[in-house]
Chains A and B, each alone.
Chain A
Amino acid sequence: MMIGTIFDIREFAVHDGPGIRTTVFLKGCPLRCAWCHNPEGFVRAFQTLSTAAGSRTVGQNISAEDLARLLNRQAHILRAGEGGVTFSGGEPLMQTPFVAEVIDRLEDTHVVLDTSGYAEQDDFRLVARRCNLVYFDLKLIDPTDHRRFTGQENGPILKNLSSLAEMGIPYVVRVPLVPGVTDTDCNLTAIAEVVRDLPGLVEVNLLPYNRAAGGKYEGLGLSFQPSWDETRAVNANVTCFTDVGLKATVVGWTTEEGQENG
């Protein structure tokens, strides 16, 4: 019986895939992206999060069977709502056997893997082939910048991306737009170059930087030190992608009257 560590389960997670979804956040991540808004996902160990509302323990051990049972109790609702379950984090691939077992126990459920792509190739393939859709983060193409802002090499990520492209599973490449870091035309163009000829790409999502990103650091005893200008508007330059024939969408922006953006 596999035991996993999660830090949250959130229903009606409208930003984590199609339809009505429930997202499971797995605890532990190999990357330390400087802009990460879920720092409680960094380490697998339980932590105490202190806020004005009081302190609470972040982290919960749960068996694959229990988690699957919990999710299966709402599977019919997720199906009827054209959605399913999303595994996010943290990095779900840090707990590959657990995640794979949970997926295997799900009853006819659409599964999205939301991943940084940083994992052993076997682990990556093990989970990815059990999913209906992969949200694959691509942050920085320049290896030095990647190391500097995430703490890891991007080699394994790019390797898994090409592996994913060969698997025939649809995927969305998601680019967090951090002002002056990832949102430069240079980086966006480089990303476009990497993904333009990959088969199976549904679209590119650009996710503008959220200024509330640093909110939880202090409560965890961490410090959030952005080296970029947080107040600067992000460069959501979709043309870097559309110019080479890719579909790209800025997620989470509203236009006038609250109409959805395309």
Chain B
Amino acid sequence: MDSRLESMRQSVRNGAHRSLRRGPEIGILAECEREGLSWVRRSARLTRRMCEAEQVVIAPDERIVFVRTVQSVPPLYNPSDWIALTSHRKLHELGPISNICADWEMVLDQGLLGRRAAAQATRARLATDPAAVEFLDCAIETIDAVLALADRYARGARERLRQDVADVLEQVPARKPRSFRGALQFLRLCHAVLWMSGHYHCGLGRFDQYMWPYLKADLDSGRLDEPQAEALLAEFFISLNKDSDLYPGVQQGDNGQSLMLGGVRRDGSCGVNPLTYMALRVALEVSMIDPKINLRVTPDTDLDLLELAAKLTRRGLGFPQYSNDEVVIPGLVRHGYDLEDARDYTVAACWEYIIPGRGMDVVNIGAVSLPAAVHEGIVEGLRKAESFECILARTAGNIEAQVRSLADAYRDLLLPPAPYYSVLMDGCLETGRDCSHGLQYNNFGIHGAASSSAADALAAVRQVVFERRTASASDLLRALDSNLRGYEAIERELKHGAPKVGNNDESVDALLVWLLDRFAGACESYGDNGRGGLLRPGSGSAMYYVWLAQGRRGMSEPVVGATADGRRRGEFFSANLAPSPGAVVRGPISVLQTFSKLDYARICNGGPITMELAESVFRDPGSIRRVAMLIRTFAHLGCQQLQLNTLDIETLRDARRHPERHRNLIVRVWGWSGYFCELAPEYQDQIVSRHMYALRASAIPLTAKEVIGHEPCARNDSIDDLHAVPGRPKR
């Protein structure tokens, strides 16, 4: 990156632009109430007022403009009206539509004027349908609001003698971009307005697919050379970091600005193009937490592409995250997705698969706590002196009950109208229906959380109580009741004597496979989710490795104390697909072999195998190629998704002591990357206590306690309150 971009990056990281956030804090309640506006009209009004309130900011050296100056998104209803409107229905998280992906290809191609024309044509056709007319008027209101904002920026640019910026904004987002720069500017503005409209976890989709035609035309005609294109792309990536402090999320950085690269096209041919490579190179140079890069691979993906990705992995940003086309696509097809759409998949906020423009799936309605299902089965079964098979049957019943309870709660899901998001989705303007009423795909995703911990608990009970009989059922029950204190011999046996997930050990891996199969079975037998979709089971955990272990205000998922895998109360569960914390494993090969046994055609919501590589791996010649081959091994073995992170434990340790020295230290948290020093302590603790692979022989894996100098944090509500959580708006 040149010095212009480097200083831009620094300035965004330092938050210099935040001093510009002095736009008026707007409210729309008074006018909405005065005019008696409906919900959808309020939504459109919100988008319009937010756009109107934005002040034009064009830094002298900026080529891709826009930064938010209005800090917060005002409510659509006063609190009592909001409660009256929503109390009898289920809202998802904060309420507004989130965690989906626009059809950026279509929007860029049509331009907002094209979308406006589509809306008007439908309005004429459906003139007698008042609901359609109202929705389309609202959609048009939002389009006009964005166009007016672009227009003000264009005027502002001319006043500042930035004819180049003005030229771009006179074309986009009104019309199809005529250049790569125009396409990036288009995306920057239209994407930002989603967030300004109260939406969050707004995905960027298959960036290299929809952007490549614009870049190719510029390169072919000589309007851009490669370094110029890279500079524009770097500036675009930096711009995605400007407003992230305004985004709601469980922790800073949990913002779902995911960007997909590579993979097959809709027709099944390979979609890897020069922009795939360029985006990886530029993400490496920029090295900020946004956008979060995902890469689609197959067992045949070129090693040079994987090596480039491995270089990004070495950077320690926690991305790219890898998805295996050969596994993901058949899984989606099996769940009712058209083959062409399935080939077009991207990820929602973290890892959940979603189809741009056509997916109105709610990919994270909650988590099934597999450890709780197992624990209750064990406790009940042992109390009644039942066989291990009965414990399994109880576990299966518990899983089914949890699935049912989650899905039942969402049968009456209330998705607020989203006229602006509808503009960017497929078919809404054409049919006169808001995307909140549903799109082509309306499935729900459920996390099957902490599967390794759950399987380990089953394996340990089977061995200790039923096979070796080193402890009686009542001893084990008493031990678990006492949080294993005073039962250290049993604890050792559970913890170190029993087989653990991650060692390619059939006896326990079979239990893992069984658990996730039962989970899939429960989802399949549930049937329709109430929105014409079905339930998609996944293998992710999101923040549930902490929440399910320690409890969380407002959470409906069950919390358990000490568990039969030898884990004491409050200790973390396994995250996503990874061995349990504290399980002894030989390394990444066995871990991949273990997780290759899952039937991913049934477990199709996503949820990555998560592995941490020691930073020292990369000090060895040939390490990049080795890591690339490890990624290929993942694909070869038929695994679904892989999150490969690089951690330097010494640096993390120092960052705990001297956060001021490590402000830019980036780590992967669950499905996203954030700045280590901005995380709440319990998340920091979990990171430093993860399994580390390929340590130098001389290095000893450290416990969380050794790294941070104290026992890992238990739940801390005062910390929670600093951050936005689902159900509570961020302050």
Bound CA span A18–B613, Å:
18
Known: A14-B626, A38-B698, A215-B698. A261 touches B633 (CB 8 A): no
B256 → chain A, closest Cβ, in Å? 28
| A74 interface hit (Cβ, 8 Å) | yes
- CB neighbours (8 Å) of B706 from chain A are 51-53
Of residues B315, B620, B706, which shows the largest number of chain A Cβ atoms within 10 Å of its Cβ? B620
Q: Number of residue pairs across A and B with beta carbons under 8 Å?
A: 124
B613 closest partner in A (C-beta): A12
Query: When chains A and B are docked, how far (Å) is the Cα of A178 from the Cα of B188?
Result: 55
Contact (Cβ within 8 A) B696 A20: no
Contact in complex: A51, B314 (CB < 8 Å): no
Q: Are B620 and A260 in contact, with the CB atoms below 8 A? A: yes
Specify which of A19, A51, A212, A253 is in contact with B619 (CB 8 Å cutoff).
A253
- Assembled-state Cα–Cα distance A254/B632 (Å): 25
B622 within 8 A of partner (CB): yes
Closest to B707 in A: A52
Q: Does B630 contact A (CB under 8 A)?
A: yes
Residue of A nearest to B495 (CB): A54
For B, the interface residue count at a CB cutoff of 8 angstroms equals 43
Given A81-B633, A262-B621, answer yes or no on A56-B590 (Cβ-Cβ < 8 Å). Answer: no
Q: Report the minimal beta-carbon distance from A74 to chain B, rounded to whole angstroms.
A: 5
Q: Which of B39-47, B128-136, B464-472, B581-589 contacts A (4 or more CB under 8 A)?
A: B581-589
Does A15 lie at the interface of the complex (its beta carbon under 8 Å from any beta carbon of B)?
yes
Whether A52 touches B633, Cβ cut-off 8 Å, given contacts A11-B586, A11-B587, A261-B621, is no
Q: Which one, B588, B621, B703, contacts A12 given CB within 8 A?
A: B588
- Find out whether the CB atom of A19 lies under 8 angstroms from the CB atom of B629: yes
- Closest CB of chain B to A250's CB: distance in Å? 10
The answer to whether A22 touches B620, judged by C-beta atoms less than 8 angstroms apart, is no
B617 interface contact, C-beta 8 A: yes
A260 touches which of B504, B589, B618, B705 (Cβ 8 Å): B618
Contact A22 B703, beta carbon cutoff 8 Å = no
Bound: A22/B630 CA distance, A:
13
Given the complex, which residues of A lie within 8 Å of B696, measured CB to CB?
15, 210, 212, 252
Is A213 interfacial (CB 8 A cutoff)?
yes
Q: Is A34 an interface residue (CB 8 A)?
A: no
Chain B positions 585 through 603: 1 when the CB is less than 8 Å from some CB of chain A, otherwise 0:
0111110110000000000
Q: Does A82 contact B (CB under 8 A)?
A: yes
With an 8 A cutoff between CB atoms, is B496 at the interface? Answer: yes
Q: Inside 8 A of A129's CB, which chain B residues have their CB?
A: none
Q: Provided the pairs A37-B698, A74-B589, A80-B636 are in contact, do residues A252 and B620 lie with their beta carbons within 8 angstroms?
A: yes
Question: Do A212 and B705 have beta carbons less than 8 Å apart?
Answer: no
A81 to chain B, nearest CB (A): 4
Hey, which chain A residues are within 8 Å of B636, CB to CB? 77, 80
The reply to whether the CB of A169 lies closer than 8 angstroms to some CB of chain B is no
Interface readout for A45-67 with B: 1 if CB under 8 Å, 0 if not? 00000011100100000000000
Q: Does B624 contact A (CB under 8 A)?
A: yes
Among B504, B590, B625, B698, the residue within 8 A (CB) of A212 is: B698
Alpha-carbon separation in the docked complex, A24 to B584 (Å): 15
* CB neighbours of A51 from chain B (8 A): 700, 703, 706
Q: Which residues of B sit under 8 angstroms from A10, Cβ to Cβ?
A: 586-587, 694, 697
- Taking a contact as CB atoms under 8 Å apart, the answer to whether A12 and B619 are in contact is no
Q: Taking A82-B629, A260-B620, A260-B623 as contacts, is the C-beta distance between A210 and B593 under 8 angstroms?
A: no
- How distant is the Cα of A18 from the Cα of B625 in the complex, in angstroms? 10
Is B110's beta carbon under 8 Å from chain A? no
A51→B625 CA distance, assembly (Å): 34
**Please, what's the 1-or-0 string for B309-323, where 1 marks a CB less than 8 Å from any CB in chain A?**
000001100000000
Tell me if A13 is interfacial: C-beta within 8 Å of chain B: yes
With a cutoff of 8 Å between Cβ atoms, the chain B residues found around residue A78 in the complex are: 589
Least Cβ distance of B407 to chain A in Å?
A: 39
In angstroms, Cα B582 to Cα A53, docked, is 9
Whether, in the assembled complex, B693 has its beta carbon less than 8 Å from a beta carbon of chain A, the answer is yes
Q: Is B84 an interface residue (CB 8 A)?
A: no
Question: Is B698 within 8 A of A210, CB to CB?
Answer: yes
Q: Report B-chain residues with C-beta under 8 Å of the C-beta of A212.
A: 696, 698-700
B616 CB–A CB distance under 8 Å: yes
Does A159 lie at the interface of the complex (its beta carbon under 8 Å from any beta carbon of B)? no
On chain A, which size bracket covers the interface? Answer: 35 or more
Task: Return the chain B residue nearest A261 by Cβ.
Answer: B621
- List residues 228-262 of chain A with CB under 8 A from any CB of chain B: 249, 251-254, 258, 260-262
Whether a CB of chain B sits under 8 angstroms from the CB of A216 is yes
Do A252 and B619 form a contact, CB below 8 Å, given A82-B629, A212-B699? yes
Interface membership of A165, Cβ < 8 A = no
**Complex Cα–Cα for A83 and B625 (A):** 11
- The reply to whether the CB of A73 lies closer than 8 angstroms to some CB of chain B is yes
Given A20-B589, A56-B496: A15 in contact with B700 (beta carbons within 8 A): no
Closest to A249 in B: B621
Beta-carbon nearest neighbor of A205 in chain B? B621
Contact of A258 among B590, B618, B693, B705 (CB under 8 A): B618
Contact partners of B703 in chain A: CB under 8 A: 51-53
- A251: chain B residues within 8 A (beta carbon): 619-621
A91 to B703, CA, bound (A): 29
A52–B586 CB distance below 8 A: no
Residue contact B697 to A15, C-beta cutoff 8 Å? yes
Q: Please indicate the chain A residues that have their CB under 8 angstroms from the CB of B620 in the complex.
A: 14-15, 251-252, 260
Q: Which residues of B contact A262 (CB under 8 A)?
A: 621
Within 8 A of A (CB), among B678-729: 693-694, 696-703, 705-706
Q: Point out the residues of chain B lying under 8 angstroms from A22, CB to CB.
A: 586-587, 589
Of chain B, the residue at the smallest CB distance from A73 is B504
Chain B residue, CB-CB nearest to A216: B700
Q: Which residues of B contact A (CB under 8 A)?
A: 314-315, 496, 504, 582, 584, 586-590, 592-593, 613, 616-626, 629-630, 632-633, 636-637, 693-694, 696-703, 705-706
28 contacts between A and B (CB under 8 A): A10-B694, A11-B588, A11-B590, A11-B693, A12-B588, A12-B589, A12-B693, A12-B694, A14-B617, A14-B620, A14-B623, A14-B694, A19-B626, A20-B589, A20-B626, A37-B697, A52-B702, A74-B589, A77-B633, A77-B636, A77-B637, A210-B696, A212-B700, A251-B620, A252-B619, A260-B624, A261-B621, A262-B621
* A contact set with B: CB distance below 8 Å: 9-15, 18-20, 22, 25, 37-38, 51-53, 56, 73-74, 77-78, 80-83, 88, 210, 212-213, 215-216, 249, 251-254, 258, 260-262
New contact pairs (17) apart from A12-B630, A13-B587, CB-CB < 8 Å:
A10-B697, A14-B622, A14-B623, A14-B694, A20-B629, A25-B697, A37-B698, A56-B496, A56-B584, A74-B589, A77-B592, A82-B629, A252-B620, A260-B619, A260-B620, A260-B624, A261-B621
